[in-house]
Chain A
Amino acid sequence: MPLASVAWAQPEGGSDENTFPGNLFPKGAVSKWSLGVFAGPASNHHVIDVAYATDMKYTDKSGYSAGIGAAFHPTGWFALRADVAMVQKNYRLDRDNRFLSFVYTESTNNYLSVPVVAVLSAGRNFKVSGIVGGYGGWWLSGRREGQSLSVSYLITGNQADTFFDEEYKFNDSRDNRFDAGIVYGFAAQCTIVKKVELSAEMRWYYGLTDVQKNYMTNLNPRYNTTRVIQFGVAYWF
């Protein structure tokens, strides 16, 4: 029997409180918990206005997301879910400049994110869900790899002198490591065996915190918007 329908007693007659938009906390229903793990690819869009630096081209870069989550299901159509996830918010900077066409920076940024979302579902054996909520997080670490215009290159003309690949050293004056925003998306779930549910989900982490501290007067903000596709498995208790 599908998980969604075994978890709650069906009311006799009247509307079905286990299907949207039924009662959020129906009498007689037994709340359920589920625990799950998930992972999948991520793609980050670094939002920045480069102003007159028009040859600086920021492009999306892929990464991954993985984590664990717990959900509280007061009804069959509503759940409150909290995750702990590692989300990469990567991006690439290229120079659209004939003298600097070789210059680029690929930034890999690892964030620990804790999204708390409401999950609104419809269906029984196969469910589709909408997800909305918020998240808080912390910029754990980063890496920079690429080529930069260097003094050695100016002297030798040798591009071998332009490469770098290093762990990103945080600047306490500049880098805002606290990350928060809203999360939204949609998902599909199906129960494969009793108490075990598979899911596929697409969600967006829409950052509302500037990745920089407000350290100078005329500072153009930078934000991350990260699209995550994650596949998971959950166990219902």
Chain B
Amino acid sequence: MALPTGSNNQNTMKNINILKLSLFLVLSLAACRKEPLEVTDPDRHFCTTYTSQFETVWTGIDQGYLFWDRDTVDWDEVYERMHPVFQEFDKRGSVTDAELTDAYQSMVRGLLDHHMYVQVKNLKTGNAVYADPAWDEVPNRDYYHYTFFDQQTALLSTMPGVSEYKSGSNSFPCFFALFPGNDGKKIAYLRFRSFQVTSVVNYLSAADLAPLRAFYGNGIVDGITNGWAGRDEVEAVIVDVRGNGGGNLADLKPVVASLSASDIDLGYTRTKEGLGRLDYSAWTPFIIPCPSNHLWGDKKVIVLTDVNSVSCSEITALMVQSMPNGTVIGERTYGATCPLISGGHDMLYSGVFGDYGRYGYYVYTSNFDVVDKEYKSLEGVGVTPDIECLFDVNALFSGHDNQLERALEFIRTGK
């Protein structure tokens, strides 16, 4: 049945109004998306105040720091707490280097990244100040000690039964020695101060290269060719990374993986994939292949570590720990297990940022997260040795390197 025309028109208008209202609501809702923020690149920012320095460093760590998924530091609380401190600095006529250092140390205290340090120019004094989160943690370990690299290597040539002793110069401190093993066999020993082998091998003098050549042979960057480490009369090798501050990742294949009978699977790595704290790339396998010239068989491989074994030294310990015939002896390492590439901020938007000379700030920090096959991270913790042997300073000054002696004992006795 048809309704009166007037009623129809009223209903029609009512429905059209409902539709108009609906469309208005929909269009209004469409404007509900949040607007993007103004974001300054923390890698390149001219800072003329203490506050802007702080804000830039805070922002760079906020966006590029690698460990926000598990770090316990409340970074927003740090901003709220420290921002007024730097505003106060800007109002003052003088700010001492100690005050600025304390402020930045307070800012980064507790951060997990043991590679990290912050370098900032004091705008009043013109001096550089530094802050380092690891420095609040590592020296507080009950076994912490300074590096005694020179004193320990000075003992090498005097140890019982040592032969073929070779040392490099200060341009590349490196040491090789053979120690007596079981049944007339030998133990090949190598120690170097930093992982720079692949980058310096073509520039060092023959004398400086002698320890490396004795251990690896003439190839070095091709792994073990005709060096002592590969000879049948050598039953075990020791790579000593005590006091070794790390270096170039490229060394890991020829220098360390050459001691393995197969490719080494350490777990996984990832980096950042955006400016959000939790924007991560996917995990990719962390596999270090053997060079073609590598050790075969069941030769024992020992790594000597201490609390001053850092970065590549710690990866070395992990690599050797993953070998069936590998053993780590010494102390729990520093805890900077996640590598970085300098100048990588433009590519990865994480890691090292700033330029001290140009902008008055610089932050050194990791940009590759590393976890083992169970996704466990050792950043801030370090590698725990299979056989703990703590450094004995009294033994050292009475002519004994107790940690090296423990490694030799393990090879000779199996215990």
Contacts and interface: CB of A to CB of B under 8 A. Distances in A.
A213 to B, nearest CB: 9
A19 to B, nearest CB: 11
Contacts of A23: 3, 8, 11-12, 15
B148 interface: no
Contact of A118 (B8, B22, B69): B22
B120 interface: no
A219 B37 CA distance: 7
B336 to A, nearest CB: 14
Contact of B283 (A55, A166, A173, A218): A166
Nearest to B41: A52
B270 A216 contact: no
Contacts of B18: 24
Nearest to B253: A155
A161 B249 CA distance: 15
Contact of A171 (B2, B29, B39, B278): B278
B26 interface: yes
Interface residues of B, number: 62
Contact of B1 (A12, A24, A52, A134): A12
Interface in B1-27: 1-5, 8, 11-12, 15-16, 18-19, 22-23, 26
Determine the main DSSP class of A at the interface with B: loop
Nearest to B11: A23
A212 B1 contact: no
A62 to B, nearest CB: 21
B285 A152 contact: yes
Most buried by A among B79, B250, B347: B347
Contacts of B62: 216-218
B19 A120 contact: yes
B307 to A, nearest CB: 24
A135 B20 CA distance: 20
B400 interface: no
Nearest to B287: A152
Nearest to A173: B278
Given A149-B271, A155-B249, A164 B282 contact: yes
A218 B34 CA distance: 12
Interface string A3-47: 000000001111101000111101110000000000000000001
Contacts of A220: 36-37, 39, 275-276
B339 interface: yes
Nearest to B280: A171
Contacts of A181: 29
Contacts of B23: 132
Interface string B42-68: 000000000000000001001100000
Nearest to A218: B37
Contacts of A173: 69, 278
Contacts of A118: 22
Contacts of A161: 284-285, 287
Contacts, number: 166
Contact of B347 (A49, A146, A149): A149
Nearest to B339: A151
Determine the interface band of chain A, counting residues with CB < 8 A from chain B. Answer: 35 or more
B157 to A, nearest CB: 34
Most buried by A among B16, B69, B269, B370: B269
A162 interface: yes
B175 interface: no
Contacts of B59: 218
Interface stretch (A92-100, A121-129, A187-195): A92-100
B145 interface: no
Contact of B278 (A50, A149, A174, A223): A174
A215 to B, nearest CB: 7
Contacts of B288: 152, 155-156
Contacts of B26: 132, 182, 184
Interface string A209-236: 0101001111111010000000000000
B22 A51 contact: no
Interface in A147-189: 148-152, 154-156, 161-164, 166, 171, 173-174, 181-182, 184
Interface of A: 11-15, 17, 21-24, 26-28, 47, 49-53, 55-56, 93, 95, 97, 99-100, 105, 118, 120, 132, 134, 144, 146, 148-152, 154-156, 161-164, 166, 171, 173-174, 181-182, 184, 206, 208, 210, 212, 215-221, 223
Interface of B: 1-5, 8, 11-12, 15-16, 18-19, 22-23, 26, 29-30, 32-34, 36-37, 39-41, 59, 62-63, 69, 75-76, 79, 249-250, 252-253, 269-271, 273-278, 281-289, 339, 341, 346-349, 368, 370
Given A22-B11, A220-B276, 10 more contacts: A11-B1, A14-B5, A22-B15, A49-B37, A51-B275, A120-B19, A148-B273, A154-B341, A215-B278, A217-B76
